[in-house]
Amino acid sequence: MTLLDGKATAAQIRTELAQAVQQRKLEGKKIPHLAAVLVGNDGGSVSYVNSKVSACDQIGFESTLIRYDSSVPEEILLDKVRQLNEDKSIDGFIVQLPLPAHIDELKITQAIDPKKDVDGFHPRNLGNMILNLPGFLPATPAGIMALIERNNIETEGKNCVIIGRSNIVGTPLSIMLGRNANPGNCTVTLAHSRTENLKEICLQADILIAAIGQPNFVTADMVKTGAVIIDVGTTRVDDATRERGWRLVGDVDFEAVAPKCSFISPVPGGVGPMTIASLMMNTLKAMELKGK
């Protein structure tokens, strides 16, 4: 079994991006500037946004963090999005999800200028992705594709089962892995909460990707010997043995599954760092697409 070390792969990408920043500086070009909007105090969202800002620092990107209380009216948030769309110093920005229930996430996502939508959540970018046109790929699926590519995992002709059909992971990833490209050319099954015979379907998977947010959902009896396992889950569970009182748990029962598979991504240190690395790649691309 080989560990799909997202932490190491993401560090490599950050090094490459830092070199690109240095090169831009030498050429007197603008340094990429990412803004992140964070609403509320959800622990997971706060730590993800902090990691995004700290990745910018490490690479040499500029970053701006904009925070609002969870009671912020939708209109104020929309105004901020419009302002960031117009702000020439900002090359790309994200609004961290989920948002409080009184705010319409789709409305916010659709208000973002597609050229600055480095999360790749705008319908125009999702449409471009389907048609293989230039645009931004959503960070988590793009990070998984990079993890597969950089670890030389063969995908062509393989059976790939994705569990979870979310707009930001499962659905876009099913398209990326199915298209005629490398990585890609998989035969993809997108499984979800209504899927019948899930265990039998998972047992057919050469590549099994779990993105449902249910700790330890994938057990050893669902995994074919030699399969590639990618775990997208990041649920915080109470853990009194840790100083902070919790730990991150993936969707895969790692201890039981690891001995059966060829590759497996751990939680933490697998997909999470890759999501952040691909957001950084998108931020550099935002500048390049503008021709700056």
Catalytic residue list contains 214? no
Instruction: Quote the Cα angle for 92-93-94, to 5°.
Output: 140
274 binds ligand GUN (CB under 6 A): no
Task: State how far the Cα of 97 lies from the Cα of 105, in Å rounded to an integer.
Answer: 8
At residue 92, the 3 state secondary structure works out as strand
Site for ligand GUN in 63-102 (CB under 6 A): 94-97
235 binds ligand GUN (CB under 6 A): no
Q: Which among 229, 227, 145, 223 is positioned nearest to 183, based on CA atoms?
A: 145
Site for ligand GUN in 92-151 (CB under 6 A): 94-97, 119, 139-140
Tracing tokens 């019948």 back to the chain, one arrives at: 196
- Our CB check for ligand GUN shows the closer of 56 and 94 to be 94
Minimum CB separation from ligand GUN for residue 255, in Å?
Answer: 26
Q: Are 277 and 52 in contact (CB under 8 A)?
A: no
Catalytic residue list contains 52? yes
**Of residues 171, 265, 275, 282, which one binds ligand GUN by CB under 6 A?**
275
Q: Are 147 and 273 in contact (CB under 8 A)?
A: no
9 binds ligand GUN (CB under 6 A): no
At residue 242, the 3 state secondary structure works out as coil
Minimum CB separation from ligand GUN for residue 182, in Å?
Answer: 24
Minimum CB separation from ligand GUN for residue 168, in Å?
Answer: 6
Task: State how far the Cα of 245 lies from the Cα of 225, in Å rounded to an integer.
Answer: 35
- Our CB check for ligand GUN shows the closer of 113 and 258 to be 113
**Of residues 168, 177, 207, 227, which one binds ligand GUN by CB under 6 A?**
168
Catalytic residue list contains 113? no
Minimum CB separation from ligand GUN for residue 133, in Å?
Answer: 21
Tokens of 60: 């040499």
Phi/psi zone of residue 185: left (φ > 0), alpha (ψ -120 to 50 degrees), beta?
Answer: left
Catalytic residue among 80, 91, 96, 253: 96
Tracing tokens 């990833």 back to the chain, one arrives at: 173
Q: Output the residue with the shortest Cβ distance to ligand GUN.
A: 97
Which stretches of the chain bind ligand GUN, using CB under 6 A?
Answer: 94-97, 119, 139-140, 168, 275
